Amino acid sequence: MSALKDLSVKNHRVLVRCDFNVPLGNGAITDDRRITEALPTIKYLLDQGASVVLCSHLGRPKGVTPEFTLAPVAKRLSELLNQNVALLPDCVGPEVEAACHALQPGQVVLLENVRFHPEEEKNDSAFAKALASLADAYVNDAFGTAHRAHASTAGVADYLPSAAGFLIGKEIEFLGKAVHAPERPFVAIMGGSKVKDKIALIDNLLPKVDKLIIGGGMAYTFLKAQGKEIGKSLLDETSIEYAGQLLRDNPEKILIPSDFVVAPEFSPTSPATIVSADQIPADQMGLDIGPETRKAFAAVIETAGTVLWNGPVGVFEMDAFAEGTKSVAQAMSNCKGLTIVGGGDSAAAVEKFGFADSMSHVSTGGGASLEFLEGKELPGIAALGKVSQ
């Protein structure tokens, strides 16, 4: 992977693929972390005398869709950079090309949503070449889409000298350290709904961790594998045998909940009760870990040298079932070791509970961080450095 500081950028136009796929509410940005995370790369390029052409996708538009315009991002970038960041009307075409070629060192523009063109997700070579024609060099800083081989995340690198931005470098540094050189004890926390979605991750991490904590919807499949009643709780039937084998092969390494918060319905107003793992009623469903489990998990997390968290341990979006996930975030904030949140819902949880700034690293990638931790090659990173300067 080519590093940004090795790329010649002075008096050059640099196309930077960012991940500005930010959450919006009524047309306004509700969380700008993905924008602020891109600032170090953008500011470095400007300081080095480059002009900067930013590009990104937003949402999953079907053709040109006004609700997915990057206009709110251009507005926020203008505020953060303290200079005008114009939003161009498209991401390719004569008008866009003329605007980019007219840029002076120190200026920034933002292309309109690259996914307004179906050629983007198809990694169409002509579309990638059109994007490349806007600049003299290419920087990928969009870790959140690095697992996608799209035109703006991989194809462009066929035509321009390229390098990884500082955000991608930071992601690889932290996630790579957890996978390849963790301080011990190394604790991984796996949550989310289905075991089958995490099999590749578990298989890659289990030989490396000292403790694997299982929570969320996944936990009930592990209980079922032990022959326990799980009521109406989420069950991944295809993974019962897998979960059972894991427990038999790793009795000291895997930690599963000993009590749960259960309710008759999946609803924020459903009456909640606490039961042990052996006493989930047949007409109830588990929606969070219980207080004894929270204490047990926290004791392991707080004394860890490295903690990697991927997936909430309860339905944290509902206040009645949020305490378990909140307690994991709290325990990680109390840990003096390296604390890494693997993007997606876990990142949303630490933001919600106000612990994001006390983590060593909160990944900006959901699927990308998952695939990296599974040991897979990410196309958006593998593509960099193909063309020499």
Give this prediction's pTM. Answer: 0.90
β-sheet bridge partners, residue 275: 260
Tokens standing for 328? 């994991």
- Residues carrying an active site annotation: 34, 194, 344, 367
Alpha carbon distance 95, 81 (integer Å): 24
* Core vs surface per residue 113-125: b (16+ CB within 10 A) or e: bbbbbebbbebbe
Q: Which structure tokens are listed for 117?
A: 């063109």
Q: Which residues, in sequence order, are CB contacts of 252 under 8 Å at separation 6+?
A: none
Predicted confidence (pLDDT) per residue in 137-176, tens digit: 999 999 999 999 999 999 999 999 999 999 999 999 999 9
Instruction: Tell me how far CA of residue 139 lies from CA of 9, 80, 247, in angstroms.
Output: 10, 20, 44
Residue pair 247/222 in contact by the 8 Å Cβ criterion = yes
- Structure confidence by residue, pLDDT tens digits, 187-230: 999 998 888 889 999 999 999 999 999 999 999 999 999 999 99
Q: Name the token pair of 297.
A: 């998990």
**What are the tokens at 378?**
């990410």
Per the listing, tokens 């003329």 go with 98
DSSP 272: P
Do the strands 254-255 and 211-214 form a parallel or antiparallel pair, or are they unpaired?
Answer: parallel
Q: What is the length of the chain?
A: 389
Distance CA 341, CA 335 (A): 13
List the domains of the chain with CATH numbers: 4-164 (3.40.50.1260), 171-373 (3.40.50.1260)
pLDDT of residue 141: 97
Task: Specify the pLDDT at position 2.
Answer: 78
Q: Which two tokens stand for residue 359?
A: 């983590």
What's the sign of the alpha-carbon dihedral 375, 378, 383, 384?
negative
Average pLDDT, the chain: 95
pLDDT in tens for each of the 389 residues of the chain?
Answer: 678 999 999 999 999 999 999 999 888 999 898 999 999 999 999 999 999 999 999 999 999 999 999 999 999 999 999 999 999 999 999 999 999 999 999 999 999 999 999 999 999 999 999 999 999 999 999 999 999 999 999 999 999 999 999 999 999 999 999 989 999 999 999 998 888 889 999 999 999 999 999 999 999 999 999 999 999 999 999 999 999 999 999 999 999 999 999 999 999 999 999 999 999 999 999 999 999 999 999 999 999 999 999 999 999 999 999 999 999 999 999 999 999 998 788 999 999 999 999 999 999 888 899 899 999 999 999 999 888 76
Taking the alpha carbons at both ends of the chain, their separation in whole angstroms is 14
Nearest 10 degrees: Cα torsion 372, 377, 379, 380: 50
User: Residue 366: its pLDDT value, please?
Assistant: 82
Give kind and range of the element (H or E) at residue 291: helix 291-302
